[in-house]
Amino acid sequence: MGASKVDIYSDQINAIAAIAKVFAHPARVAILKYISSQESCICNDIVDKIGLAQPTISQHLKVINEAGLLNGSFEGKSICYCLNVDRFQEIQEHLNAYFNQTKSNCC
């Protein structure tokens, strides 16, 4: 097979896995870090900074965007990619809730 059997898990569990997946590639972690460190940045900067080809960066940005983690308009020429800090915080809290819940009752 090879595909995850998403339907056999609860929504909460799938949500955690989906969130984790965004951070499960170093390029995306690096991109998020870089975006947050810049006042505003455009994709070409990222390409130079990270060291991957432009289409590859664009693909990773799409994943990050689909997680709701990008702010600003992003079509056309010179574009401002910004970290959606609210969503970023929300994700952090979501993860912490899972961690705290899981920690609570153990041998």
Q: Which amino acid is at 98?
A: Y
Q: Are 2 and 50 a contacting pair, CB within 8 Å?
A: no
* Out of 1, 11, 39, 106, the residue judged to bind DNA by CB under 7 A: 1
Contacts to DNA from residues 23-82, by CB under 7 A: 24-25, 27, 42-45, 47, 52-56, 58-63, 74-79
What is each CA distance from 99 to 8, 10, 42, 57, 95, in whole angstroms?
Answer: 21, 16, 34, 30, 6
In the complex, the residues that contact a copy of itself under the rule CB under 8 A are 4-6, 8-10, 13-14, 16-17, 20-30, 32-33, 35-40, 50-52, 82-83, 85, 88-89, 91-92, 95-96, 98-99, 101-107
